[in-house]
Structure 1
Amino acid sequence: MRLAALLLTASAGAAQAASLTWSFSSDIQTLDPHSSRISFTNAVLGNVYEPLVRMNERLEIEPALAQSWERPTPTTWRFRLRPGVAFHGGETLGADDVVFSFDRVNSPGGNRGALAAVKAMRATDPLTVEIETERPFPILLNALLQFPIVDRGWALANGAEGASNLTAQKENHASRNANGTGPFRIVSRESDGPTVMAANPAWWDTPRHNLDRVTYLPIRNPATRTASLLSGSTDATVELPLQDVDRVRADPRLQVTQGPELRTI
């Protein structure tokens, strides 16, 4: 049964703010996009790493790192990458990075998940990737929403050719460092402490925000999260406790946003 879980978010409404500090109840599990199985972590890393396709506000799939695609046979898909996309480290995205990311997500500890139906990925030229599925798989585009692309050269140079293994508690360089193509880059990361991101000035797309810096704080105690918001120590929090909604709504500096989550229970 599909249920709409209510998400309550409270935030300060300053439109000109160039920085944002926000809180939630848990820490980011890892910075490795190929080992996380936690929705919250994946959502945060979605600002740092990007897939070939993405979902827009109307829940429609649209081009991201791939600017176009075709399906020449029932089991073959061909993706043309967007030229000139740069990773945060300055390297240019290529088809080899996509193929490497597929190999990496299939390594021990990797979250292959939705890509289980993919038989192979091949780079047919520097900007073209061909994906072969085990059988006709019409929902491949949906599966690719959960396939972030990493920089092959960066991963190899730092001993992170395989995904970190959270089950075996084996980390690598990508567990605490990041190099994606997304609208934000990681500035610093502290376990159970602040994670700081800065806007990526070289992002290939047009930003739809006015932020140059974002700080995430894990605050496990609900009352402490609310107190931090009301005191101005944080600008926003997610999953505001129901008992605090009226008190937060009464503060003219803050606004409460409520909406359904995309979740199947």
Structure 2
Amino acid sequence: MRLTKKLLGLLVVTIMLSMVLAACSGDSTNELVIANSADAVSLDPAGSNDVPSSNVAANIYESLVAQDQNMELQPSLAVSWELVEDTVWEFKLREGVKFHDGSDFNAEVVKANIERVLDPDIGSPRAFLYSMVTDIEVVDDYTVRFTTEFPFSPLPAHLAHNGGAMVSLKVIEEDYAAMEDGEDPGSVINEKPIGTGFFKFDEWVPGQQIKLVRNDDYWGDKAKLESVVFKVVDEDLTRVAELKTGDSHISDPLSPSDVADIEETDGVHVNRQSSVSLSYVGFNMDKAPFDDARVRQAINMAIDKDQIINGIYDGNGVPAVGPLAPDVFGYDPDVPGLEYDPDKARELLAEAGYEDGFSTTLWTNDNRERMDMATNIQAQLKEFGIDVEIEVMEWGAYLEQTAKGEHDMFILGWSTVTGDADYGLYALFHSNNVGDPGNRTFTKDPDLDALLDEARQTPDPDDRAALYREIQELLAEIAPMLYIHHQEFLLGVSDRVEGLTQDPTGVLQLQNVTLKEE
């Protein structure tokens, strides 16, 4: 049969349309699709302190220092560093590195980035990471010196945090110019997140997905994938269904309740990674009755954490006695915590004037385990006359409102990403960090502040460890939180995915990931 010109034209259009639809469907054999429980809050490294944002940013940007799977520091954009004086660190930078916009990485860029994080006009929730830095000196194009207010041995670890990720100087200057025109800090960087990483930003459809593409001009070993899509799939079971059908290759996170299902399904498996994370219930110490330590201690003693860990998390993780995970420097296994003791809990409530209980609210985001935890805590506290109303909130609003102190009790997590107690304690409990930086319990204790300040200013590791023991003992008295557990990170992963690793901080390492053909 002969094709007319009209039919031939229609056939060509149909073929082209099919190709476009296939490309748009994310069906590329070299595109990794990650189903995430929440969207990023910001792609500006100075703009947020949440895991979904960090997971994306870790592929776009790089910091001076990196951490390996054992939380050991490794060179990244800096090739070496040394303490040249008690309060002066010198970093030698990698030469020949280009940003995604073609601009050069050098010492001026480092100075501009860290000064921007510290700029009060930016209002970065990560400013506490570098608050001890008093001067940044450009020695030459590839040498930079940091002077600190006091000896601060964790500085290289803090510079491994993605809060110290390097953004193109051109984009930083554009962002400041936009601020002069009335735009919010980070508005330009969010639209044009330009780093030096092995992936480049392609698009962000808020509430739906973020797409990154391979940086073929990367200074080191190039990513093996052509592209990565971080897709927002907030329902646990939907993420599992997408993993099974192949619509997604990774479910992040995987609910402990779904582990058995994945283990019994061909073509997918469970990835487990021990963590430096903490899950906790925080109390707003600015609000009654949580302004009374006896009430906070009583709730700690009223809750049987084994019900939560075994019943909701299927035994996944290590029970938390305090805020620090066992692999974090400064953790002390001998510090006593507030053990489950219902009789003592009732006694403390009576002393505080709440023998008959009280009414309160417990906030959580729409994470299945956290919602189940809230329901469990609600039931347990009812036995003490405490009437708990549960409120489930969208992630962005949840972070914003807990930062403002509009909550009573709340469920959240924290990961000590530097592997050092300073990050796991100073951010969560120092009065300087109330709100967005991490202190959502609104803890304001002068003695605690003094100890936290002294610990970060003490150079000797043994002396620091002793101070952190004292801090953890004091926290048991203050009881700003009910510490639940340090859980394993769980991922549902397609068997097609090879080369995937996950840090103890929860960040996925995608540089060496490949996808086997089906």
1:244 corresponds in structure 2 to 258
Secondary structure, aligned partner of 1:121: strand
| Alignment match, 1:178 | 193
Structure of greater relative contact order (alpha carbons < 8 Å, 6+ residues apart): 1
Which residue number in structure 2 is paired with residue 62 of structure 1?
A: 74
Match of 1:199 in 2: 214
Q: Please identify, of 36-45 and 89-98, the stretch whose mean Cα deviation from structure 2 is larger.
A: 36-45
Deviations along 1:166-212, one digit per CA (max 9) or x if unpaired, are xx9765111232100011111111111110001111222224x5311
Task: Please tell me whether the aligned partners of residues 110 and 166 of structure 2 are also in contact (alpha carbons under 8 angstroms).
Answer: yes
- Please tell me the residue identity of whatever aligns with 1:101: N
Residue 114 of structure 2 is aligned with which of 87, 99, 102?
102
Structure 1 residue runs without a partner (length 5+)? 1-16, 163-167
Contact 2:32-2:228 within 8 A present in 1 as well: yes
Counterpart position of 1:148: 165
Match of 2:145 in 1: 130
TM-score where L is the length of structure 1: 0.86
- In the alignment, structure 1 residue 157 sits paired with structure 2 residue 174: yes
* Counterpart-to-counterpart distance in 2, 1:105 and 1:171: 11
Separation of aligned partners in 2, 1:259 and 1:148:
24
Deviation at 1:135, TM superposition (A): 0.6
SS of the residue corresponding to residue 131 of structure 2 reads helix
Instruction: Report SS of the residue matched to 2:265.
Output: coil
User: Which residue matches 2:225?
Assistant: 211
Aligned residue number for residue 121 of structure 1: 136
Compute the displacement of 1:161 (Å). Answer: 7.8
Distance 1:238 1:39 in 2: 11
User: Matched residue pairs, number?
Assistant: 244
Find the aligned partners of 1:248 and 1:160 in 2 and give their Cα distance: 50
For 1:90, the equivalent position in structure 2 comes to 102
Give the distance between the partners of 2:111 and 2:185, measured in 1 at CA: 23
Cα distance in 2, alignment partners of residues 104 and 98 from structure 1: 10
For residues 52 and 171 of structure 1, what CA distance do their matches in structure 2 show? 21
Computing the radius of gyration from Cα coordinates, the structure with the larger value is 2
The alignment's TM-score, normalised by the length of structure 2, stands at 0.45
How far, CA to CA, are the matches of 2:274 and 2:85 in structure 1? 37
Counterpart-to-counterpart distance in 1, 2:168 and 2:273? 35
Give the distance between the partners of 1:249 and 1:169, measured in 2 at CA: 46
Q: Going by fraction, where is helix more abundant, 1 or 2?
A: 2
The secondary structure found in structure 2 opposite 1:47 is helix
Q: Which sections of structure 2, spanning at least 5 residues, go unmatched?
A: 1-28, 279-322, 324-518
Following TM superposition, by how much is the alpha carbon of 1:260 offset from its aligned partner in structure 2, in angstroms? 1.4
Distance 1:84 1:217 in 2: 33
Tell me what 1:6 maps to: none
The answer on whether the counterparts of 2:176 and 2:185 sit within 8 Å (CA) in structure 1 is no
Q: How much identity, in percent, do the aligned residues show?
A: 26
Root-mean-square deviation (CA, aligned residues, Å) is: 2.1
SS at match of 2:173: helix
Aligned residue number for residue 50 of structure 1: 62
Deviation for aligned residue 1:100: 0.4
Tell me the residue number matched to 2:87.
75
The answer (yes or no) to whether the contact 2:64–2:165 under 8 Å persists in 1 is: yes
Give the whole-Å Cα distance in 2 for the aligned partners of 1:72 and 1:52.
17
Answer whether contact 2:196 2:218 (CA < 8 A) is retained: yes
Which residue number corresponds to residue 31 of structure 1? 43
